[in-house]
Amino acid sequence: METSLGNKTFTIDLNTNPSLHNINRSLVPHEMLDEELIRTREENKKLATMLKTLCENYNSLQTHLIELLQKYSTHEDYNSKLLFSRKRKSEDLCCVNNSDINFEEASPKRPREITTNISTVWVKTTPSDQTSVVKDGYNWRKYGQKVTRDNPSPRAYYKCSFAPTCQVKKKVQRSAKDPSVLAATYEGEHNHPYPSQAKLAVPLVNQGVTTDPRSLNKFMKDINTNSIQQHLVEQMASSLTKNPSFAATVAAAISGDFFCNMI
DNA sequence: CGCTTTTGACCAGCGC
DNA sequence: GCGCTGGTCAAAAGCG
């Protein structure tokens, strides 16, 4: 299998050997079992190597996908209107620039807020999913909800609850254009380690997330068609189904305690 | 019982 | 100054 995205080429070798399944029927059952056990172990090793390669290539593709999505950001300007529509000019500016901002003046009645690292992610959800939850691995406590003027869907306000001193806030609202898309705006920087690293990497891409705040129009096209994701899935599926021994190999691997060998 | 969510009230910024 | 709007607070309700 060969997938080419831009100037990067990824190769996944799924060349399992069908002949491994041809059991020498002239042997007595005991020898047969020994021979098959050895074969199974060899296949397990092969599959482990294949899976490792697959994961590495997937990670490379994922990295490349994020790079592509970030490239869109230099040409698009969308979400500042959606999430910071008209009030608080200083915050609008903050969002448009998408960079570190320290407010020069604070409200006389409220403690001065230092808002840094504002970023927005867009999450494609299933039409049946009516919740406003963006699973990013952090723990959030909801402290408010508002219906905004330019969007019928309510905007939910969250604070990071993983660490008491963490001041990171998150706003989640469904897109007015496509209700199946959730927009999550993060303000601030977590001052604690990521609570569950394993939960983050794959789901973000699988859900169709861009870390870029100004790339909705182009990214929405990708979301709607799932073009990039679908391309990858189709390539992988095609590669797998073309290999006649794949199903048998997987079955043999599972029955041979494949996952124990992986660990 | 403690934590989270809900929701109405309050406050501040902005435009007119 | 007034009204509109977004953001936050805090008491009540819900939940495990």
Which amino acid is residue A82, in one-letter code?
Answer: L
d(CA A263, CA A261): 5
Per-residue pLDDT tens digits of chain A, which is 263 residues long: 444 444 444 444 444 444 444 444 455 567 778 888 888 888 888 877 777 777 677 666 666 665 665 554 433 333 433 333 333 333 333 333 333 333 333 333 333 344 457 778 887 776 555 566 666 777 888 888 988 888 888 899 988 877 767 778 888 888 877 777 888 888 877 777 666 543 443 333 333 344 333 333 444 344 333 433 444 444 444 444 344 344 444 444 444 443 334 43
Asked whether residue A109, judged by its CB, lies under 7 Å from any atom of the DNA or RNA strand C, the reply is no
Which amino acid is residue A260, in one-letter code?
Answer: C
Asked whether residue A91, judged by its CB, lies under 7 Å from any atom of the DNA or RNA strand C, the reply is yes
Asked whether residue A143, judged by its CB, lies under 7 Å from any atom of the DNA or RNA strand C, the reply is yes
Which nucleotide is closest to the Cα of A157 by its C1'?
Answer: C7
d(CA A174, CA A252): 45
Asked whether residue A110, judged by its CB, lies under 7 Å from any atom of the DNA or RNA strand B, the reply is yes
Assess contact for A35 and A42: CB atoms under 8 A. no
What would the two tokens of residue A79 be? 């979400």
Please identify residues in chain A, positions 159-178, with a C-beta within 7 angstroms of any atom of strand C.
Answer: 169, 171
Asked whether residue A156, judged by its CB, lies under 7 Å from any atom of the DNA or RNA strand B, the reply is yes
With H, G, I as helix, E, B as strand and everything else as coil, classify residue A249. Answer: helix
Asked whether residue A152, judged by its CB, lies under 7 Å from any atom of the DNA or RNA strand C, the reply is no
- Tell me the CA–C1' distance in angstroms for A71 and B4: 39
The pTM for the full model equals: 0.47
